[in-house]
Amino acid sequence: MSEVLTLADDGVLIITINRPEAKNAVNRAVAEGVAAAMEELDANDALRVGIIKGAGGTFCSGMDLKAFLTGELPMVKGKGFAGFVESPPKKPLIAAVDGYALAGGMEVAITCDLLVANSKAQFGIPETKRGLAAAAGGLMRLPRQIPPRIAMELALTGDFISAQRGYEIGFVNRVVETPAIDGALELAHKISANGPLAVRVSKQVIVESRGWSDAEMWAKQQEIVGPVMTSQDAREGAAAFAQKRAPNWTGK
């Protein structure tokens, strides 16, 4: 049985962590499988958006502690935990969270650009309860996505929070009553209907501009966005609007 499954669906690559018997805990095989899937997402021009989810009604319970005790590390060199938290894909990635997203599982979820959760989903970084620290991005990414004092509380107490609370404080985009994949696919198809070059550079600017100073931000944005404004897709988008038809994107 493969620990990671992939399925292409109308421009969307669905990546499934497939270890339901272990609550989709991440071991080395999962990290390698996810890394390969992320490479496919960026390399394949037919794919516009990625979704990552877990099998069996749970998103991911974090690092496989049994494997950790044997010395196995659930990471890929240069890509980090789960094969991508240190090097996310250039294309948009959505987390579809059912059940629990805990410890490394929450860190996988908040590495994604967007997050859709079932209303019964639970989130947490309880590493301190096990004498560990949330070193796969939780301590750095979470304070950028939610108020720092709330991130501090979650990190120090290890308490869980609900999907609704996650939505209220800003790291969950949508809460749905159906399986999270339904809401994630709806969001993914809205994105994939847009110009692929425009989507990619929009993500790039939002991610990279966090480190730009006021003095350099306009020039740096122009370097990235400028080629899109003169692309074939830009002309196609304008023509499609004028002709009241759907655009035919080429990614050029």
pLDDT at 69: 83
Rounded to two decimals, the pTM is: 0.95
Integer CA distances (angstroms), 162 to 10, 70, 77, 138, 159, in order: 31, 33, 33, 17, 10
Bridge partners (DSSP) listed for residue 100: 122
pLDDT at 67: 83
Q: Tens-digit pLDDT profile for the chain (252 aa)? A: 799 999 998 999 999 999 999 999 999 999 999 999 999 999 999 999 999 999 999 999 999 988 888 888 899 999 999 999 999 999 999 999 999 999 999 999 999 999 999 999 999 999 999 899 999 999 999 999 999 999 999 999 999 999 999 999 999 999 999 999 999 999 999 999 999 999 999 999 999 999 999 999 999 999 999 999 999 999 989 898 999 999 989 888
pLDDT at 99: 98
Catalytically active residues are 107, 127
